[in-house]
Structure formats: C-alpha cells, structure tokens
C-alpha cells in the first residue's frame, strides 16, 4: 500500500499535540514477551524508541528475557526447578541469568537501537548501585494438603532502593538507557528481578510521565474478554478481588498500582506484538491497551 505525501504530512501534524504533551518527559518502556525473539519486530521496536528520542521524549527501556534464559539453561544442561510457576534461581542459574540478560539480550537491543540511528547505553541495576534488591520469598498453598508454605526462590529479589544518579547523567543527552533487570544484593551478590517489577521501580524513582508494560495480550480484559481501556487503582483492586484479573496479570497490575503510588502519572499495559504499539499509545488519539491513572 502506497501512502501519499499528503497523508504522511497529515499524520505528522496530528501527532504534534501528543509530542508537546511528552516534550522532555521521561517514558519507561518494559519490553518483553515473544516480540523480543523475532528480529524484525525487535528492530521495529528499536526504530520506535529512536523516534521517541528524536521527538524530545526521554525513553528508558527495561527488557526481560525469560524464554532466552530457559533456552540457554537447556543448552548448558542445567535443569530448572519451579515453585508456583516461578523459577528457583540457584547459584548456577544466576550466573546464566546475568550472562543472558546483561550480555546477549542487552547488547543485541543496544545494537538494534544504535543501528536505527540512536545512541543506546546498556546497563544493569548493578551499575552505579542503581537498584539494590532484597531477597524475595513467596508463600504457596500446597495443592495436596492445603497447607501454606514459604518457598525459597534462591537468588530472586525485589527492589528495595533505587538510585537515579546514573540515569540522571544519561537522560536528556541524546542517550537511551537500556536496562537489564539484574540487581545488586544489599548483602553483596546478585539478584534476578522480575522485569515488570524492575521497570515499575525505575519509573517510580524517575517520576516518569508514563510506564508502558509491553506484554503478549491487548491489556486488562473483562469477564467477556473485552479490553478495559481505562482503570483506576481502586477499580483494579476490585477486579483482582472478584477474579476478573487473575494469573500472571495480577503482578503486572500490582506493579502498575505501585508505580502510580510512587509518582508515575500513568501506566499502560499493551500488546507488544502490535506493530508500533508504543507510538500508537503515545502519539495518537487511538491509544493501545489499558491505561491506569492516579
């Protein structure tokens, strides 16, 4: 399909008020899911991030990498144990987690952004003590006995303190930080942190204008599987309580609520498989996903 120059000019003109709204503002984008594994989609995402920076938005990218970690562990013959759907990260596994997240995935994404004309800088939560984490334990109800038990997830942490010194030196200088969710432990050592949780902590500490959580679903769905376009934190808590929000969407929504309470203006859960989802959300009236506002 050929788009006429007039249509291109009209679209750019309609984007102007949105560009003005986000002028010099910080937007944290959590990038993950299956879109990460497909090179053309990753390159398209990188171009969108560069376009954001060119329109005077300050993007901060946080990426995950669960499937890639699983694939590397399999190749190396390291068997993973799971509890309640979460991988138990032992000493051998945390080495691979750090290698994959801070190494191959981070540098590939940095490379794609740089190839698109940006200036990306790959970092982890350990750089400049950006994110200090504490050990995360989870409580599960045993299916057989219905007894609650605490499961030690090993080197899995949750953010305890965020220091934005390094990011403050980067943002607004034509540089795009790309962050791997690996954090330093308050007692020394390394913790693997859930990428959504990590992104929420970074967005809260930066008082970002927006936090975008790119996932594999259109957003928060109601009981009829229709997209809920806007939610308040109280609405979201009610939907968790009545079972409308369930499974893996619960921690995502809890991250949204945390980020809003920490000072982020708005959080959006949207489908990262939709081409140019980030631009649709930020630079058009259309929007893309579920918006949560304070």
Residues 38-57: tens digit of each pLDDT: 888 899 999 999 999 999 99
Pairing verdict, β 148-162 and 131-141 = antiparallel
> What residues does 192 pair with on adjacent strands?
156, 182
pLDDT recorded at residue 81: 80
Side-chain-facing half-sphere of 152: CA atoms under 13 Å: 4
- Digits of tens for pLDDT over the chain (294 positions)? 677 887 878 877 888 888 888 888 999 999 986 667 688 889 999 999 999 999 999 999 999 888 888 889 889 988 878 776 667 888 888 999 999 999 989 999 999 999 999 999 999 999 999 999 999 877 776 666 667 777 788 899 999 999 999 999 999 899 999 999 999 987 878 999 999 999 999 999 999 999 999 988 888 988 888 988 999 999 999 989 988 888 888 888 999 999 999 999 999 999 888 888 898 888 887 777 899 998
Write down the pTM of the prediction: 0.91
- State whether the Cα torsion 88-89-91-93 is positive or negative: positive
Task: Name the token pair of 265.
Answer: 């203006």
pLDDT recorded at residue 251: 86
Q: Per-residue DSSP letters for the chain?
A: -PPPHHHHHHHHHHHHHHHHHTTT-EEEEEE-SGGGG-HHHHHHHHHHHHHHHHTT-EEEEEE--HHHHHHHHHHTTPPPEEETTEEEB-HHHHHHHHIIIIIIIHHHHHHHHHHTT--EEEEETTGGG-EEEEEEEEEEE-TTT--EEEEEEEEEEEEEEE--HHHHHHTTTT-EEEEESEEEETTSSEEEE-HHHHHHHHHHHHT-SEEEEEESSSS-B-TTS-B--EE-HHHHHHHHHTTSS-TTHHHHHHHHHHHHHHT-SEEEEEETTSTTHHHHHHHSSS--SEEEE-
The ranges assigned to domains in the chain are: 23-293
Burial class (CB in 10 A: 0-12, 13-18, 19+), 7: exposed
**Measured distance CA(93)–CA(88) in Å, rounded:** 8
Under CATH, which number does the domain 23-293 receive? 3.40.1160.10
pLDDT recorded at residue 114: 97
Task: Give 80-91 pLDDT, tens digit per residue.
Answer: 787 766 678 888
**Measured distance CA(199)–CA(202) in Å, rounded:** 5
pLDDT recorded at residue 142: 65
């Amino acid at each position: 399909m050929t788009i006429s120059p007039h249509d291109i000019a009209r679209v750019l003109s309609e984007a102007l008020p949105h560009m003005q709204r986000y002028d010099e503002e910080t937007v944290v984008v959590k990038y993950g899911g299956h879109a990460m594994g497909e090179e053309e989609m990753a390159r398209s995402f990188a171009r969108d991030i560069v376009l954001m920076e060119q329109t005077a938005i300050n993007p901060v990218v946080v990426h995950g990498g669960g499937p890639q970690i699983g694939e590397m562990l399999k190749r190396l013959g390291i068997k993973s144990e799971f509890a309640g759907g979460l991988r138990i990260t032992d000493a051998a596994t945390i080495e691979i987690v750090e290698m994959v997240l801070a190494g191959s995935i981070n540098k590939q994404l940095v490379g794609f952004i740089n190839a698109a004309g940006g200036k990306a800088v790959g970092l982890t939560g350990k750089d400049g003590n950006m994110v200090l984490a504490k050990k995360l334990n989870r409580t599960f109800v045993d299916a057989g006995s219905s007894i609650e038990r605490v499961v030690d997830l090993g080197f899995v942490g949750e953010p305890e303190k965020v220091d934005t010194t390094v990011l403050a030196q980067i943002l607004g200088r034509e540089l795009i930080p790309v962050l791997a969710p690996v954090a330093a432990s308050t007692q020394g050592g390394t913790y693997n942190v859930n990428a959504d949780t990590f992104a929420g902590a970074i967005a809260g500490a930066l008082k970002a204008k927006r936090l975008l959580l790119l996932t594999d679903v259109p957003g928060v769905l109601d009981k009829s599987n229709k997209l809920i376009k806007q939610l308040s934190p109280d609405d979201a808590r009610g939907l968790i309580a009545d079972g409308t929000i369930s499974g893996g969407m619960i921690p995502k929504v809890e991250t949204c609520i945390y980020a809003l309470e920490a000072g982020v203006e708005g959080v959006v859960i949207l489908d990262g498989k939709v081409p140019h989802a980030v631009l649709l959300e930020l630079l058009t009236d259309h929007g893309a996903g579920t918006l949560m506002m304070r």
